[in-house]
Amino acid sequence: MLKFSKMHGLGNDFIVIDAIHQSVELSKQQIQMLADRHWGIGCDQLLLVQPAESAEADFRYRIFNADGGEVAQCGNGARCFARFVHDKGLTDKTVIAVETASGLIYPELQSDGQVRVDMGPPRFEPAAIPFVANELSNTYMLTLPSGPHVEISALSMGNPHAVVRVENISAAPVAEWGPQIEAHERFPERVNAGFMQVVDHDHIRLRVYERGVGETQACGTGACAAVVSGIRRGLLARDVQVALPGGCLHISWPDEASNVMMTGPAQHVFDGEIEWPIPTQS
Ligand SMILES: N[C@@H](CCC[C@H](N)C(=O)O)C(=O)O
pTM score: 0.97
Cα separation of 36 and 38, whole Å? 6
Confidence of residue 70 (pLDDT cuts 50, 70, 90): very high
For range 272-281, the mean pLDDT? 80
**35 CB near ligand 1 (under 6 Å):** no
| Active-site residue list | 74, 219
All structural domains of the chain? 2-109 (3.10.310.10), 126-252 (3.10.310.10)
Regarding beta strands 149-156 and 160-165, do their DSSP bridges make them parallel or antiparallel, or are they unpaired? antiparallel
Pocket test for ligand 1, best of 74, 182, 206 (most atoms within 8 A of CB): 74
Summarised one tens digit per residue, pLDDT across range 132-171 is 999 999 999 999 999 999 999 999 999 999 999 999 999 9
Mean pLDDT of the chain: 97
Report the candidate in 258, 265, 242, 79 with the shortest Cα–Cα distance to residue 250. 242
Query: What's the complex ipTM?
Result: 0.99
Summarised one tens digit per residue, pLDDT across range 224-266 is 999 999 999 999 999 999 999 999 999 999 999 999 999 999 9
Binding-site residues for substrate sit at 12, 45, 65, 75-76, 159, 192, 210-211, 220-221
Q: Is the pLDDT assigned to residue 281 strictly greater than 90?
A: no
Summarised one tens digit per residue, pLDDT across range 91-118 is 999 999 999 999 999 999 999 999 999 9
Binding-site residues sit at 12, 45, 65, 75-76, 159, 192, 210-211, 220-221
Ligand 1 midpoint to CA 276 (Å): 26
Pocket test for ligand 1, best of 159, 209, 248 (most atoms within 8 A of CB): 159
For range 171-192, the mean pLDDT? 98
Summarised one tens digit per residue, pLDDT across range 189-233 is 999 999 999 999 999 999 999 999 999 999 999 999 999 999 999
Q: What is the DSSP string of 149-209?
A: EEEEEEEESSSEEEEEE-S-GGG--HHHHHHHHHT-TT-TT--EEEEEEEEETTEEEEEEE
Ligand 1 midpoint to CA 75 (Å): 7
State which ligand 1 atom lies nearest to the alpha carbon of 224. Answer: 13
